[in-house]
Every structure is written in structure tokens, then in C-alpha cells.
Amino acid sequence: MSRLAIPKTYKLYIGGKFPRSESGRSYEVTAADGAFLANASLASRKDARDAVVAARAAVSGWAGATAYNRGQVLYRVAEVLEGRRAQFVEEIAASEGVTAAVAARQVDEAIDTWVWYAGWADKFVQVAGSGNPVAGPYFNLSVPEPTGVVAIVAPQGEGSLLGLVQAVAPALVAGNTVVVVADERHPLSAISLAEVLATSDLPGGVVNVLTGSPAEIAPWLASHADVNALDLLGAGALEWVDLEIAAADTLKRVLRPEPGLPGRALDRILAFTETKTVWHTKSTI
């Protein structure tokens, strides 16, 4: 007699914990052939606001960690993801209706993306910063610092794990914290990735994952006064111009939608940084 499997309950990931939606809502996630896979949490406005509170609370710790430490934690994510590779391959194959080989390529690229970005943590400041030769007796230095809380609409239907990773990882490098709305139709690997993050020494609240309808959740994030930047990467099918307009009320930094996946890019790290320039007097000796 075969053993009866234990199905996983897929919940949200907020502040390092896995709550259900406070709204009590869920939605059915199906395989490509329509078969039932799971009920995912249908995140609400309140969940989005809770996620922003958690993300804000996590900024000082994550941004204040040393670059070396952030790099190690991001590398740890790759390690733990590698260890659970088979689970992700299976989940993606089932959800996206692709072969195991295609799903494996997606997972491998996602793992390697974490490694690539992990290596940037203690280098991008040197690449993007500068010592400035001002005309006067001043020591003058410019360095990029994290923007703060970044809200992201993950790519939709472009590879549920890889799209999420390519959107979230670069924002973390500089010390930002993230609220991300996952791929609506394929949210399972996002929540499984949250389990990886939760066991990779990433402090709670640094990444918060919402599943559900981007069309419903994104407007609350776009207009939230405690969100500093809005990445509309996967919002191309939404009324994203309205989101950009809402974001303008508090002058959020906005990245407009892009077709497909963004790949790996230093630009995506720098898009969520602010250049701070410090002038320090030199005494006359």
C-alpha cells in the first residue's frame, strides 16, 4: 500500500514568519493541465501594509550589516537553494507545465544568479562610488547607499522562480529590504523560496513575499508612503502608468516594466541606491 503524502500549505512570508492572509482568502493554483496543485494565500491590502512595516523594521539591520556579511548571506541562499534543487524542479515542472530539464535549467540559473549578486555586495560601492577632486581643502567621497524599502512586482509567467530571483536579489545587495508580489499563476516556488530565505540567515523582514493578485496589491504598495522605490518589472500587463503616477506622490524611485526577464545587471543594484557625498574639511598644517 502506497503512503499517503502530506501536502504543503502555502502561506505568505512576512517579517520572517509564514502567516495566512489576514483576509482569510485563498485561491486555487493549478497545473498546466488544470489539475489542482494547492491553495495559495490571496494577499490583501492589510497583508501588503504588514509586509511594508516588516520591511521597514528590517532596513537598519540589513543595511547596517557589513557588505561582507550581506554577501555571505546571499551566497548562503544559493547554497540552501542548491540543496533543495530537486524540490524546486518538481514544483516548477508541475506548475508551469515544462519538462524537468527545462525546470532544472531555471533552478540552476536562479542559484547562479544568487551567487553572482552575492559577489557584488562588497564591490559595487567601489565601482559606483568615487573620490572627488574638489577645488579646496576637503576630503570628498561619494558612496552608494540603499534606497530603503523596495516594492517589486515580479515577472508574471516568465519563469516563476528565476523571475523572482532576478528581481529580488539585486535589490538586496545594497541593503534594501523588499516586498515582492509573486507570479500570480505560479506562486508555489515563491513561497518555497521564502522557506529557503528563512533558513539562510537572512533576517526576518528583509524579504517579504505576497501571493495573490498584483492588480489588487500593487496599487497599495505604489501609494504607500513608507515605500521608497517601486520596481514594476512584471507589471507590464497591469495599469502600470497609474502605479507610476501613484508612486509620484512621495517621489518614489520607479523602474518601468520590462518584457521578459532582466537577466543579471549591475544597473539593477544601482537602481535602488542613493549616492551620498560627504565633504570633510582638511585642516591647514
Contact between 279 and other proteins by CB under 8 A: the answer reads yes
Contact between 133 and other proteins by CB under 8 A: the answer reads yes
Of 53 and 243, the one with the shorter C-beta distance to other proteins is 243
Rounded to a whole number of angstroms, the minimum distance from the CB of residue 170 to other proteins is: 16
Q: Give the footprint of other proteins on residues 175-234 (CB under 8 A).
A: 228
Closest CA to 176 of 77, 268, 280: 268
State the Cα angle at 189 between 187 and 195, rounded to 5°: 115
Of 100 and 127, the one with the shorter C-beta distance to other proteins is 127
Contact between 69 and other proteins by CB under 8 A: the answer reads no
Contact between 259 and other proteins by CB under 8 A: the answer reads no
Judge contact between 161 and 106, C-beta under 8 A.
yes
Pick the binder of other proteins from 102, 128, 198, 215 (CB under 8 A): 128
Pick the binder of other proteins from 135, 177, 212, 264 (CB under 8 A): 135
Contact between 100 and other proteins by CB under 8 A: the answer reads no
Q: Are strands 229-231 and 207-210 parallel, antiparallel or unpaired?
A: unpaired
Q: Where are the alpha helices (DSSP H) in the chain?
A: 45-64, 67-83, 85-96, 100-120, 124-128, 160-173, 188-198, 214-223, 240-248, 266-270
Pick the binder of other proteins from 126, 278, 284, 285 (CB under 8 A): 278
Please compute, for residue 103, the number of CA atoms within 13 A of its CA located in the half-sphere on the CB side: 18
Q: What is the C-alpha to C-alpha distance for residues 147 and 270, in angstroms, rounded to an integer? A: 10
Contact between 66 and other proteins by CB under 8 A: the answer reads no
Q: What is the C-alpha to C-alpha distance for residues 189 and 199, in angstroms, rounded to an integer? A: 15
Query: How many CB atoms lie under 10 A from the CB of residue 40?
Result: 26
State the Cα angle at 254 between 253 and 257, rounded to 5°: 165
Contact between 245 and other proteins by CB under 8 A: the answer reads yes
Pick the binder of other proteins from 3, 280, 284, 285 (CB under 8 A): 280
Hey, what's the cell of 101? 530539464
Q: Are strands 253-255 and 177-181 parallel, antiparallel or unpaired?
A: unpaired
Q: Give the footprint of other proteins on residues 145-164 (CB under 8 A).
A: 147
Residues 6+ apart with CB under 8 A from 228: 147, 148, 149, 150, 176, 252, 253
Stretch that binds other proteins, among 19-27, 107-115, 165-173, 270-278 (CB under 8 A): 270-278
Rounded to a whole number of angstroms, the minimum distance from the CB of residue 119 to other proteins is: 19
Hey, what's the cell of 211? 501571493
Stretch that binds other proteins, among 157-165, 196-204, 212-220, 272-280 (CB under 8 A): 272-280
Contact between 237 and other proteins by CB under 8 A: the answer reads no
Pick the binder of other proteins from 30, 69, 87, 140 (CB under 8 A): 140
Pick the binder of other proteins from 127, 199, 201, 237 (CB under 8 A): 127
Give me the residues that bind other proteins (CB under 8 A), please.
127-128, 130, 132-136, 138, 140, 142, 147, 228, 240-241, 244-245, 247-251, 253-254, 267, 274-281
